[in-house]
């Protein structure tokens, strides 16, 4: 187990860097002043910075070498979700505040702390990476929490077109659950959203047959979808999950049944299903209501699985060494930018702080967790450089 108090000045710099990023109002897709600050920090240490912006989104590629082929890509985002009602926050969400060894502010876990810790891990290993000739790149975006079209997805395609390539990747999303180091993500479930409209016939409530009331049809559909087994799950994935996000109709008057009823549904699905099979299953259930319907499907996020390999092994050893915990491999949770990188690399993992208060009011990270996160990243980068060097 490492001694957390060994590097006081590094610890101070880490807190300062995280706080400085939290102070920027970088609500998605705006990086605010984050990239100017990070660029100045990186260039002063001899790193190279390149912007790959599009529309309102800013993307920053930071590299240890002036090269186009990189052994390792570290990825993160500086944009955050809106703070919500700021009067409910204990402190200003855009003014990093420390109270009782806890750092408060929007982005404290998702994911300005990871961005700061990843940067510091590279700064601390820079001599090592230079002498070992292990080129490392860091790709940061300001559009992960929003549409995520002009962010990592665009930057990876654009960089690839420019001739850049990356062998392995680590994304710093908050993946830990109870303790920093307990969970590594090796894939993600897919996400599919549909807006369903059932059309019946408006009628006097006293004379309306229930066969023309779209609300009855909608409730039948929801009931049957809820009790459907979509698949049985597959390796590393739990079974596909169906959820209703909203259900409504327009109430003209209390004695009039509605003409239409709508609902929004979402699937978090495993590779045992596909967006195509799920759409067909939904259509079959809707047909059973015998009512006219239409469905508008939103473009799906496909599931991916990177599996186990060099990175899962190195992260396991790093977490055990620093935290004393062997992380579990998981594919749970929401979607992330890892899916946009996975197609370009041999292996990708996601690893970061505890996600217990991501997107919440009073988002915060324990200073102890922040330090531990940095130490695990530093250990991981060090081990990676050593491994790549000895195996090449
Ligand atoms: Zn995030």
Residue 370 Cα to ligand 1 middle (Å) = 16
Per-residue model confidence (pLDDT) at position 4: 47
CA distance linking residue 323 with residue 304, whole number of Å: 28
Q: Is the pTM of this model over 0.85?
A: yes
Residue 23 Cα to ligand 1 middle (Å) = 17
CA distance linking residue 387 with residue 384, whole number of Å: 5
Per-residue model confidence (pLDDT) at position 133: 85
Residue 116 Cα to ligand 1 middle (Å) = 14
Residue 304 Cα to ligand 1 middle (Å) = 17
Topology of domain 8-188+303-391 in CATH is Aminopeptidase (3.40.630)
Residue 146 Cα to ligand 1 middle (Å) = 10
CA distance linking residue 202 with residue 56, whole number of Å: 45
Instruction: Return the SS3 of 61.
Output: strand
Per-residue model confidence (pLDDT) at position 3: 44
Options 24, 30, 144, 150, the catalytic residue? 144
To the query of whether residue 369 is one of the catalytic residues in this protein, the response is no
Question: pLDDT per residue over 290-303, tens digit each?
Answer: 999 999 999 899 99
Residues of the chain with pLDDT under 50: 1-5
Per-residue model confidence (pLDDT) at position 208: 82
Residue span(s) of the chain under CATH 3.30.70.360 come to: 190-297
Give the strand order in the sheet containing 241-249: 241-249, 260-269, 190-199, 292-297
Residue 285 Cα to ligand 1 middle (Å) = 35
Per-residue model confidence (pLDDT) at position 335: 86
Residue 13 Cα to ligand 1 middle (Å) = 22
Q: Which long-range contacts link 84-91 to residues 24+ away (Cβ below 8 Å)?
A: 84/361, 85/361, 88/361, 89/361, 89/362, 90/362, 91/362
Residue 266 Cα to ligand 1 middle (Å) = 20
Taken in order 90, 92, 97, 102, is the CA torsion positive or negative?
Answer: positive
Distance from the Cα of residue 165 to its chain's centroid: 22
- Per-residue tokens: 187: 């894939």
Options 30, 79, 143, 260, the catalytic residue? 79
To the query of whether residue 363 is one of the catalytic residues in this protein, the response is no
Topology of domain 190-297 in CATH is Alpha-Beta Plaits (3.30.70)
Per-residue model confidence (pLDDT) at position 1: 39
Per-residue model confidence (pLDDT) at position 77: 98
Q: How far is CA 311 from CA 72, 95, 109, 171, 185, in A?
A: 10, 35, 22, 12, 11
Residue span(s) of the chain under CATH 3.40.630.10 come to: 8-188+303-391
């Amino acid at each position: 187990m490492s001694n957390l108090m060994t590097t006081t000045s590094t610890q101070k710099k880490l807190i300062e860097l995280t706080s400085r990023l939290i102070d920027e109002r970088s609500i998605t897709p705006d990086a605010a002043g984050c990239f100017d600050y990070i660029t100045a920090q990186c260039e002063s240490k001899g790193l190279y910075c390149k912007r790959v912006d599009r529309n309102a989104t800013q993307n920053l590629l930071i590299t240890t070498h002036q090269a186009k082929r990189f052994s390792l890509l570290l990825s993160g985002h500086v944009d955050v979700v809106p703070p919500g009602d700021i009067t409910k926050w204990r402190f200003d969400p855009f003014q990093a505040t420390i109270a009782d060894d806890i750092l408060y502010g929007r982005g404290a876990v998702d994911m300005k702390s990871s961005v700061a810790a990843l940067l510091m891990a590279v700064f601390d290993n820079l001599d090592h990476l230079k002498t070992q000739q292990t080129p490392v790149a860091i790709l940061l975006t300001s559009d992960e929490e929003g549409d995520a079209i002009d962010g990592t997805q665009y930057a990876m395609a654009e960089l690839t077109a420019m001739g850049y390539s990356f062998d392995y990747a680590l994304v710093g999303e908050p993946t830990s659950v109870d303790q920093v180091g307990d969970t590594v993500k090796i894939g993600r479930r897919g996400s599919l959203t549909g807006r369903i409209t059932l059309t019946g016939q408006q009628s006097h409530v006293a004379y309306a047959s229930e066969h023309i009331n779209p609300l009855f049809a909608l409730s039948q559909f929801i009931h049957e979808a809820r009790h459907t087994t979509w698949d049985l799950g597959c390796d590393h994935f739990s079974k596909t999950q169906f959820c209703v996000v909203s259900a409504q109709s327009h109430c003209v008057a209390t004695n009039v049944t509605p003409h239409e009823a709508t609902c929004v549904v979402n699937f978090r699905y495993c590779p045992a299903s596909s967006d195509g099979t799920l759409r067909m299953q939904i259509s079959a259930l809707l047909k059973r209501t015998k009512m006219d319907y239409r469905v508008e499907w939103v473009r799906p996020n496909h599931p991916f699985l990177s599996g186990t390999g060099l990175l899962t092994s190195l992260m396991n050893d790093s977490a055990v060494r620093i935290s004393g915990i062997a992380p579990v491999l998981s594919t749970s949770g929401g979607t992330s930018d890892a899916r946009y990188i996975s197609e370009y690399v041999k292996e990708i993992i996601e690893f970061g702080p505890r996600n217990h208060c991501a997107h919440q009011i009073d988002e915060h990270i324990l200073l102890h967790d922040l330090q531990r996160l940095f130490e695990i990243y530093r250990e991981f980068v060090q081990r990676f450089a050593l491994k790549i060097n000895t195996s090449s």
